[in-house]
Amino acid sequence: MRKAFISPAKYVQGENELLNLGYFVKTFGKSALLIAHKDDIARVQGQLDETAATFGVEIFASNFNGECSREEVARLQEVAKAHHSDCIIGLGGGKAIDTAKCVAQGEALIIVPTIAATDAPTSHSAVLYTPAGEFDDYAYFKQSPSVVLVDTKIIANAPTRFLVAGMGDALSTYFEARATQNSFSNVNAGLPCGVRTGECPPAKGTIAAYTLAQVCYTTLLENGLNAKIACDNNLVTPALENIVETNILLSGLGFESSGLAAIHAIHDGLTMLEGTHHYFHGEKVAFSAIAQLVLENAAIEELYEVLDFSLSIGLPVCLADIGVESITMAEAMEVAEKACILEESIHSMPFPITVEAVASAIMAADKIGKAYKESHLVK
């Protein structure tokens, strides 16, 4: 049996850690191409200038256009060659980070997330879009980033909604890992080998990955509310440090190396609904977690635990919370059909999946979440 586990070569987290960026650039050479949105660069320009001067390196801005498209990746690869860049830095949110992964192609890559809204920074995959912003394809690389550098002071000063959305994304990790383990399904850590290329057999998850997924969930429950309060007040506390690590590292290693299941597939289906387009990935994932628990008829105590946690930090628990005030069975069926396409992770659930069952779970999760919110939320 083939198992696989994947992770960054180095993960570093702490206050003012951005000031050490130049040190990591220097481990690759003397220069780096910085892929980041101009607004994110403006937020940290002082730290970038200081670390470049301290360590004697050059950091060149790339004029990133904001979209992770094949055209932008090709342009930036030429810019990197023109500057003789020794490494690539992806700084900011998901689009900049994924573009940096594509430009670096698995070599000499430093990722610097300025928000903790998803678990993408540690992964060896990226999402490609067209120049117009429509989904194009997934890209997988031979390894995860060389360095993931997380400055918790910067994250504490970002809007709290990002941190909470990251907790929504992390909330899925354990439940999808459990389903994948119970069904003995394959995990992303085996890619690009396996199904996508035919080069080698697919891989199962490891004990290490499943353990990280479990700790991801318990750390959320124990630290989530206090971390939110700290971020509301732009404070770095032990709880906030724990949640940043949970959102980025534990969830990142957990999803790639222990598997995805119904939650992320239902999320993908929900993107068909216009109302969801203004909500973050992790916010839609949070509702999808409730839908998976309903689909698998999880213990009522577990369902209520997730609902209580979500309400405590302001995560969505019903469709209205992600911009869908009402949904018909026909609309739910369309969402479910998209969630159930052959390539989706929902087929890692440990029982046969039907479109009808998924649609019913979405409808029921919406009703359960709405009723629970009405009965427990303080008016």
The single residue listed with the structure tokens 């730290």 is 47
Q: What's the sign of the alpha-carbon dihedral 42, 15, 92, 142?
A: positive
Cβ atoms of residues 353 and 330 within 8 Å: no
Phi-psi region of 35 (alpha: psi -120 to 50; beta: other; left: phi over 0): beta
Would residue 264 show up in a list of annotated catalytic residues for this protein?
A: yes
Annotated binding site: 94-98, 119, 123, 129, 169, 264, 281
Q: Can you point out the beta strands (E) in the chain?
A: 10-14, 31-35, 58-61, 87-92, 109-113, 125-129, 135-140, 147-151
Would residue 278 show up in a list of annotated catalytic residues for this protein?
A: no
- Spot the catalytic one: 86, 124, 151, 264: 264
Cβ atoms of residues 143 and 7 within 8 Å: no
Would residue 169 show up in a list of annotated catalytic residues for this protein?
A: yes
- Spot the catalytic one: 40, 86, 281, 321: 281
* Neighbouring C-beta atoms of residue 132, cutoff 10 Å: 7
Render 327-378 in DSSP notation, one character per residue. Answer: --HHHHHHHHHHHTSTTSGGGGSSS---HHHHHHHHHHHHHHHHHHHHHHS-
- Spatial neighbors of 119 by CB under 8 A, at least 6 apart, are 166, 169, 170, 173, 247, 248, 251, 252, 254, 255
**Rounded CA separation 31/52 (Å):** 9
- Spot the catalytic one: 169, 268, 321, 366: 169
Q: DSSP class of residue 23?
A: H
- Spot the catalytic one: 40, 86, 151, 267: 267
Would residue 267 show up in a list of annotated catalytic residues for this protein?
A: yes
**∠ CA(283), CA(374), CA(272), 5° rounding?**
35
Beta bridge partners of 3: 204
Cβ atoms of residues 167 and 231 within 8 Å: no
Active site residues: 169, 264, 267, 281
